[in-house]
Chain A
Amino acid sequence: MKRMIVALAAAMAVAAPAAGWAQGKYVHANNSGYDNLDPHAIFDVGRAASRINFYDGLYRWVDNPPKLIPWLAESHTASADGKTWTFKLRKGVKFHDGTEMTADDVIYSIERMLATKKGASSLFLPIIAPGSTKAPDKHTVVFTLKESSAIFISTVPEILVVNSKLVKANEKNGDWGAAWLAKNVASTGSYKLKRYDPAIGFVGERFKDHFAGFPAKAFDEIEFRTVLETNTRVQGLIKGDFHGTDGYLPYDQILRLKQSQNVQILEQESMRVFYFSIHNGRSPMSDPHFRKALAYAFDYDGFIKDILKGAVARNPGPNPNNLWGAPKDLKGFTYDLEKAKAELALVKEPLRPITIGTLAGFSETEQAATLLQNAAKKIGIEIKIESAPWQVVQSRMQDREKNYDMVPLWKSTYYVDPNNWVGELYGSRYLGTRNYSYNKDAELDQWINAALATNDQEKRRALYEKAAKKVAEEAMGIFVYNTKWYGPYAANVQGIRFCPIGSGQDMRWAYFK
């Protein structure tokens, strides 16, 4: 707890209030639409900017490696059994309309999430019963969980607090204010909504009474615009029309941007693992020997060094290398067709052509699939590749029968805990939601559930390392690399604090040089 308070103090020191701003407007071009501003309805990475810049949670993720700092809450305590979590709220925090934020607003926010069942609600639906969150006083909130959950504190930043009185006043037909919040903001957040057009984007105006203050030269306004075409975003940044864009551009575009004097590229190792999701519940992928044959048939070095020009770091397991819970002694598979043939010879089930679903518009997934297809052909495995938009691929992956045999994709950071990766991808408690592998392994489940049930960090580390090692060694997926974030910003933008959650779009810390 002391560390958290020190972290907040450091954050506040950077954000000491200063008078007389004249720092203009920061304009960001994003590849995703800002069709909805409701913080409890959206949870995708593409639309993170409106949630982060307009809303506050009880805690907040900052920096890389990510640190959890107290935000609307000053502190918290957890009971010994890990089921009761008590948060002390900061006093005097104001909503944009000047009213005070209290425990009632936090309770309304979590109840709203549980009732509307959208966005980040799936993190809380299994562990918080509606009506179970209480407010002993105006500045205390008590969450009583159905079961102990070590990841609860990591997910608390997703409980974004709305102004309950304002939202209630705009509820229609029991919609929890959904229609109104889709195009309005009711929060304590760093920026107030100034202008919004779902077809264009939004403009936020700095909320001068924000409890955390701002750095001396913080932006007066931020504008996030939807610019779907990559080439247009890149050219706009070079030309000076935008001050920033998304940090996961194709690497050839990053090289192009690096040549411009108007642009700087900030580089950070992120927590976004690229891997092949394998349907472990269907023959012949249910046979570990077949999966290992595929894992030996992927040319990791060729993909990372030649195709991606070394812009990423090899990541042999499901957990990102730069996160605790990633086993340091894990070697991972190497490209070796002889070993692949040897594994294939041990497969008892009849072979059949397998299908890889790739993400249309994400060339890396198509390149990775083609690379595997070519090598697999040499050992006698036929692979068909089907490309479709992410939404099509995703909805098929969530259906055990319709799922592809394999899908190359990234696992992004929704909360910083190994459970976000190895737990969700391979724990059977997440089957039908985030476990696309259809893996059901009793030993793995035992470790993952045990890690969720204890708050002992060292025990958890050991359990997740064992789980990650098993998943990697049995090739339940083919793990390729951990993404580097190349944040493209105008040369005069300073103070960007990249965090894998939010991907450099938390603008309250940034300013013009």
Chain B
Amino acid sequence: MRRLEMILSRLAWFVPTLAGLVVIVFLISNVIPTDPVRILLGENATQEQVEAMRVKLGYDKPLPVQLARHFRDVLLGDLGVSIYTQRPISEDLAKRLPATLELTLVAIALSIALGIPLGVVSALRRNSAVDHALRVVSVSGLAIAAFWLAMELQFLFSMKLRIAPLNNRIDGFGPEAVTGLFIVDSLLSWDMESLRSAVSHIALPALTLALPAAATIVRFTRAGVLEVINSNYVLYQRAMGMPLGLIVWKYVLRNALISTVTQIGLIFGVLLTNAVVIETVFDWPGLGTFAVQSILQSDHKAIIGFTIWTGALIVIVNLLVDIAHSIIDPRGAR
């Protein structure tokens, strides 16, 4: 019951959060000294064409009126039409969302698979050479610029070793879309060639995203495990002769991972931000490249649409994290 209250309370904040995002992005977009109508019509448009289109799109109205209209449209589920692609923005975003989701989910899975075990090892071997080495690696992982790491990985694995594709999401255009997640769709259609291609293409961008995230998880897991491992109940179990592996798996991790799970929710937001850069380097056709193109084209409505969608994604993921948190530590839901 308390968990349901918690979920409803989080959901109640969903709309105001997104509304705030819309206002902020709308205002920022209008600070940029560009004329979206001129961009839409191109450099060859006459003044008459520009003015006619300005009236048609409502850009001739005062800013508060434009904002109010935009709010109304967003509430009705209409994000407008992209001035660059000239298609409904929701359609463009929906088309690209699976690519970003797939990349982000694989990156999160990789970062968890790397980060938690290494964090545990680092804590159990505190101040050993292994711990120091992991500290150096994890701090470096946090410090490295994502685009630099991406290019280095491309150079090493694609150009020198030639074991990974340089860019794109798959060879060709991919399997018939069911979910839009190529790995899942390849499995659903039992298309092993597409599966191999999808996995090999996602490896480098996911690794680029996962390494800094894994570094964060290593640090948080290490801190969490260290805090728990010195607690009385763990000392008692060790004194009882219970194997260390069992103690860590059964008693330490559950308590130690509370802060790590919270961190994973925050990391999702960071991954989405980094995806903007990584998708551009790896030519990954997701929300990130859409955002870059929209910004370069001063496509205000598309930028707002991207922000609303990513904002909603982050809110949803954080809600899921809160639910997971309440399962791991039921005290949190109280």
Contact = CB atoms under 8 A, between A and B. Distances in A.
Interface stretch (B36-44, B125-133, B135-143, B207-215): B36-44
A229 B281 contact: yes
Interface residues of B, number: 54
Contacts of A36: 84-87
B86 A178 contact: yes
Interface in B119-177: 151, 154-155, 158-159, 162, 165-169, 172-173
Contact of B38 (A120, A179, A394): A394
Most-contacted residue by chain A among B39, B84, B166 (CB, 10 A) = B166
A226 B38 CA distance: 24
Given A43-B42, A182-B86, A200-B173, A392 B159 contact: no
Interface stretch (B16-24, B248-256, B285-293): B285-293
B35 interface: yes
Interface string A287-299: 0000000000000
Interface string A177-221: 011001100000000000101111001000000000000000000
The range of chain A's interface size is: 35 or more
Interface stretch (B91-99, B106-114, B258-266): B91-99
B49 interface: yes
A125 B158 contact: no
Nearest to B167: A232
A125 B41 CA distance: 14
A434 interface: yes
B35 A398 contact: yes
B154 A235 contact: yes
B88 to A, nearest CB: 9
Contacts of B283: 225-229, 232
A389 B165 contact: no
Given A195-B173, A228-B283, A398-B43, A35 B85 contact: yes
Interface in B39-62: 39, 41-47, 49-50, 52-53
A396 interface: yes
A79 interface: no
A195 B177 CA distance: 14
A473 interface: no
B154 A232 contact: yes
B273 interface: no
A118 interface: yes
A225 B52 CA distance: 34
A332 interface: no
Contacts of B293: 33, 35, 228
Interface stretch (A4-12, A236-244, A445-453, A504-512): A236-244
A122 B44 contact: yes
A119 B44 CA distance: 8
Contacts of B281: 229, 231-232
A470 to B, nearest CB: 24
Nearest to B32: A392
A459 B282 CA distance: 53
B297 interface: yes
B194 interface: no
A117 interface: yes
Interface string A117-146: 111111101100000000000000000000
Nearest to B88: A179
A232 B42 contact: no
B237 interface: no
Nearest to A203: B173
Contacts of A395: 33-36, 38-39, 298
A35 B91 CA distance: 12
Contacts of B38: 394-395, 398-399
Contacts of B36: 395
B216 interface: no
B46 A432 contact: yes
B186 interface: no
A110 to B, nearest CB: 16
B246 interface: no
A38 B33 contact: no
Contacts of B221: none
A434 B44 contact: yes
B35 A399 contact: yes
A121 B43 CA distance: 11
Interface string B278-310: 001111011001101101111000000000000
Nearest to B281: A229
B295 to A, nearest CB: 8
Nearest to B42: A43
A414 B42 CA distance: 13
Given A227-B167, A239-B162, 14 more contacts: A33-B84, A35-B85, A119-B42, A182-B86, A195-B173, A199-B285, A199-B290, A228-B289, A231-B154, A239-B166, A389-B297, A389-B298, A392-B34, A433-B47
16 contacts: A35-B82, A36-B87, A43-B44, A197-B95, A198-B85, A226-B283, A229-B280, A232-B167, A235-B155, A235-B166, A236-B167, A239-B166, A241-B167, A395-B33, A395-B298, A433-B45
